[in-house]
Structure 1
Amino acid sequence: MTSQVSRRWRPRSLLQLVLLAFLVVMLPIAVLMFQAGQALSELSYLADISARQAVEQTRRARALSNLALEMERSARQYAVVEQPGLMEIYASKLEEYTALLEAQDRLLPDNPDIAALTEQIQTLEALPTMTAEEISENLDAFVSFGEHTSAVREATNRYIDNRIEGISAQAEEVQHRLWLQTAALVSASLALMLLFTWLIIRPIRQIERRILTLGSGREPAASYLIQGPAELVNLGERLDWLSVRLNELEAQKQQFLRHMSHELKTPLASIREGTGLLSDGIVGQLTPRQLEIVELIDTSGLELQRLIEQLLDYNLLQHNQTADSECFNVAALIQEVLNKHQLALDKKGMQVSISRQPIEWMADRDRTARVLDNLISNAIAYGEDAGRLEVRARHHGPTLIIEVANSGEPIDSADRERLFEAFYQGRARRKGPIKGSGIGLSVAADCARAQQGQLALVDDDELAVCFRLTLPWNGDGILDNDKQAQHSMLKLDSDARNRQV
């Protein structure tokens, strides 16, 4: 059942999470687009208003200059011709000038030129009531009037220029603000993208780790819940179910192997006991032909027992990977393993050569013996009749090297990559009545790995097949093998005198 705790903070499906991620990531970009549009609209409106006002103010300033010239012209003409209509024109232009000046005063408050013009207008308003001679005497007032009018026009132009500069500064400020907003909102979008990417990737990685754990055969230290969309949570629950099911199948397999081994060894022990009684002549003397058949049955039973023991070894090694290190003599161990196969070697007619140099080494003796037993057994089974078998041992500092090589047919290159896989049997055919199980080399490789060592097929200059076992020193310190060899030399020489190998 999907945990309710895992659903508090997440959508119920992967599609909802992706859509939510898209909407949330796009939200800062949409805000940025809206703010940019608002800023551009504001600048566009401000520029339009400023342009209109600038045109209007420029026209008003120009109109003031034109009206001042027309007023001066009408006054001078009246002073010459004294035509009443000219003063009417003058009064009309003065009234229009006064209205424009008031509007300009609102644009440029506290302007000294406008204040001077306002005072002069009071004087100029009295001209229509004066005689021609009085008007002629006051015509000089139009000189300063025109100068102040020109000054007002220049002040208006400066005001418009300042207004344009202000708009430019405001545009730069808006641009700067938009850049900051863009950086902030784009950063927020990237952060949201990373967040939602993590929310999507995290359960996938959890599932990946769970699958790798299942594939490696190791159970996690504690069960953990996949957190994420419902589809991935359900997938994690299916993986938990699969893990439980695999454990059940593994337990059934182990139980089957134990029962099968027990059921096979019980009748096999009776068969071997019977062949032993027949060989000893308990039930009567056997003819040579009968004795040969009994020995064949006993040999086949021994081979079958060895296959069963290999199967049990493989089963044990799958669940016990700890090594029990002890110091032992490598040469003595090699001789001990060879003694177990002496009858098979004699029957095969193989010439055996072993390393007689005593080497004291710290490792798992039982597992090392099991590796040698499987390699020598393979050499007997697949090696050449009346061929050669060599077992070499040497050490380089903290590393022990043992090589088991035999003559015969080389191992096919297609079989080399899968040579140490359990239950894999290559193209080479086993010599003898019993077919191999295909787990001997797998058991040997597992024994080597349990000691942090390695078993590998290597090329040899003299013999066709050569397996090399490499073991590290699994103790606190390295012993001086030259000094430790003396106490085991007597035993090794005694064994060599008793049996010529």
Structure 2
Amino acid sequence: MQQWIKNLSIYHLSIKTLTLMGFGLVALPLVFAFLYSANQVNQLSQQGTSAIFNVAELVENNRQISQTLIRLERFASQYLVLKEQELLKQYTEQKHELKTVLAREFKSYNDEQFSILVQQFDGKVKEIDQLIQTPSANSVNLELLQSRFKQLALVNQKLSLHSNQIINQQANNMVASGDQVKKTMMFSLLVIPMTLLIAGVFIVLITRPLKELINKIKLLEQGNFQLPITVEGSTEIEEIADALELMRRRLHALELQKSSFIRHISHELKTPLAAIREGTELLYDNSVGDLNNDQQEVTNIIRTSVTRLQRLIEDLLDFNIVLDSTSLQDAEVINLNQEIEQALSLWALDIKRKQLTVIKQVDDISLQCNSKQLSVILDNILSNAIKFSPNKGSITIKAWIEQQRLQLTITDQGVGIEPSLYNKIFDAFYQGPTAHNSQIKSSGLGLTIVKELLMRLNGTITIESIASTSTTFKISLPKTQLMTPTKIHHLEKS
């Protein structure tokens, strides 16, 4: 799916073009569905209006026909009895009105049954007309005339029934049309999933390269300058990727220069420093002759400063590990318990000198990590704990898995840290209050190195401190750093 999206020609269009195209493709089905539905509703409305007028016209015409027939029968009967010309005239007028109503009512209906009934109606009216206007009309029986009008009333009744059938048919047509519009509206709802699908495709087209850019930027944030930055996508995304790639190259070059400079300057400093330290030790031990008190004091100052300078150079080399990302790429399977034991062994003399008790509660956990990287983290945290622990105090080390994250805590029984200093102690070269009777000298880079290394591992470090009681450094690493037994076995075989 992802490769298919990348192969689309529109995948490389600009974000502006993609946005406009996506909006257009999403809006087009909705507009079409809206216009089609509006047209269906308009037709239904016109059909309803026409049906209402037709029904009203049929009802009115049927009423007029019935009333005209009543008047026609009355005038014909009166004329037959009274023989007044005025009655004959009114009879003739009512007959013409009846024909007019019949023509007006049924001219708009192309209905065969209506035509038959109208012809029958006309035939009956002609029969009545002949009975009245023939010379023998004087002898016509009134009863015969009334029978003709009864026959005409039956035809009128059939006309009314057929009109009602037409009205019912139009009502049924309205219901059917309404159902059809309802179905059309329901069918139009299918446009919504289609528009959502189109919107989803364009969201992927726009956001996918942005997510790739974010991942590349995170790699740069972690100090990984080796992998080239190439992102396929819109023209703007590719321009940003090109700018990031140029920045990556320059940062990589600067990092290599910086690392090389620190390595060389540290080496150049350590060589004469070794000679100075050796000479100072000879003077301090009176190997070249006895020193007076003032000379002994000066020699001790020099010896202490040289030791601190050596520690500073070693911390600079450790800090160079942070700056040089090329030295952190090689990962291996590491047993956390063994790493902690090795870190403790480096400080065994200081632990023994201060008579410290080390309490370990470490689960059997393995990680895929750079050994030097992890040892620098543990070394700096342990040195800090030993430095601030009182004589005959205890250091507690705990490690466990919680929510697929490694949780590592190192707790000492030192004087504690003020909450206002929680962030400052991670600043480069910052040194907190000096520990009482501590022979471990600090350069102020240790915790800075720890934080930088953990940041590159997507880990965190936090502090929990109780004044004059204890200080706990808590390290948390994501599950990607942890190793399952199956994966460990696979790596060992490879």
What TM-score comes out, normalization by structure 1 length?
A: 0.69
Residue 188 of structure 2 is aligned to residue 181 of structure 1: no
**Structure 2, gaps ≥5 residues long:** 1-7, 107-111, 487-494
Residue 481 of structure 1 corresponds to which residue in structure 2?
none
1:125 is displaced (CA, Å) by: 1.5
* Cα distance per residue 1:297-351 (max 9 Å; x no partner): 4213321222123213334678337244369868964663124658xx96xxxx2
What SS class does the counterpart of residue 355 from structure 2 fall into? strand
Residue 317 of structure 2 corresponds to which residue in structure 1?
309
Residue 379 of structure 2 corresponds to which residue in structure 1?
373
1:92-491 equivalences under 5 Å are: 92=92, 96=96, 99=99, 103=103, 108-111=114-117, 115=120, 118=123, 121-122=126-127, 125=130, 128-131=133-136, 135-189=138-192, 191-192=194-195, 195-196=198-199, 199-200=202-203, 202-204=205-207, 206-217=209-220, 223-227=230-234, 233-235=235-237, 237-280=239-282, 284-285=288-289, 287=291, 288-315=296-323, 319-320=328-329, 322-325=331-334, 333=342, 336-339=345-348, 341=350, 351-355=354-358, 369-379=375-385, 383=388, 387=391, 389-392=393-396, 403=410, 405-408=412-415, 410-416=416-422, 423=428, 425=430, 428=433, 436-440=443-447, 442-443=449-450, 446=453, 457-458=463-464, 463-467=469-473
1:172 is displaced (CA, Å) by: 1.7
CA 1:221–1:170 in 2, change beyond 3 Å: closer, same or farther?
farther
1:246 is displaced (CA, Å) by: 3.5
Question: 2:15, 2:191 → 1: CA distance?
Answer: 20
Question: 1:322, 1:204 → 2: CA distance?
Answer: 32
1:256 is displaced (CA, Å) by: 0.8
Residue 43 of structure 2 corresponds to which residue in structure 1?
38
Question: 2:178, 2:363 → 1: CA distance?
Answer: 83
1:292 is displaced (CA, Å) by: 2.0
1:31 is displaced (CA, Å) by: 2.6
Contact 1:114 1:152 in 2 (8 A): no
RMSD of aligned Cα (Å) = 5.1
* Cα distance per residue 1:116-161 (max 9 Å; x no partner): 87268447516544446xx435432112112122223322322332
Question: 1:363, 1:95 → 2: CA distance?
Answer: 113
Residue 4 of structure 2 corresponds to which residue in structure 1?
none
Question: 1:143, 1:296 → 2: CA distance?
Answer: 146
What SS class does the counterpart of residue 352 from structure 1 fall into? coil
Contact 1:116 1:148 in 2 (8 A): no
Contact 2:13 2:233 in 1 (8 A): no
Contact 2:411 2:470 in 1 (8 A): no
CA 1:388–1:307 in 2, change beyond 3 Å: closer, same or farther?
farther
Question: 1:400, 1:178 → 2: CA distance?
Answer: 64
CA 1:286–1:18 in 2, change beyond 3 Å: closer, same or farther?
farther
**Structure 1, gaps ≥5 residues long:** 228-232, 478-501
Contact 2:77 2:145 in 1 (8 A): yes
CA 1:353–1:210 in 2, change beyond 3 Å: closer, same or farther?
same
User: Identity across aligned pairs (percent)?
Assistant: 10
* Cα distance per residue 1:264-295 (max 9 Å; x no partner): 32133222223314533699547324532441
What SS class does the counterpart of residue 347 from structure 2 fall into? helix
What SS class does the counterpart of residue 407 from structure 1 fall into? coil
Q: One-letter code of the match for 1:303?
A: R
Contact 1:28 1:188 in 2 (8 A): yes
Residue 33 of structure 2 is aligned to residue 28 of structure 1: yes
CA 1:189–1:417 in 2, change beyond 3 Å: closer, same or farther?
same
Q: One-letter code of the match for 2:191?
A: A
What TM-score comes out, normalization by structure 2 length?
A: 0.69
CA 1:24–1:151 in 2, change beyond 3 Å: closer, same or farther?
same
* Cα distance per residue 1:189-224 (max 9 Å; x no partner): 564266336525751464245225413547899944
Contact 2:412 2:470 in 1 (8 A): yes
CA 1:119–1:71 in 2, change beyond 3 Å: closer, same or farther?
same
What SS class does the counterpart of residue 465 from structure 1 fall into? strand
Contact 2:386 2:412 in 1 (8 A): no
Q: One-letter code of the match for 2:262?
A: M
What SS class does the counterpart of residue 325 from structure 1 fall into? strand
CA 1:70–1:352 in 2, change beyond 3 Å: closer, same or farther?
same
Contact 2:413 2:471 in 1 (8 A): yes
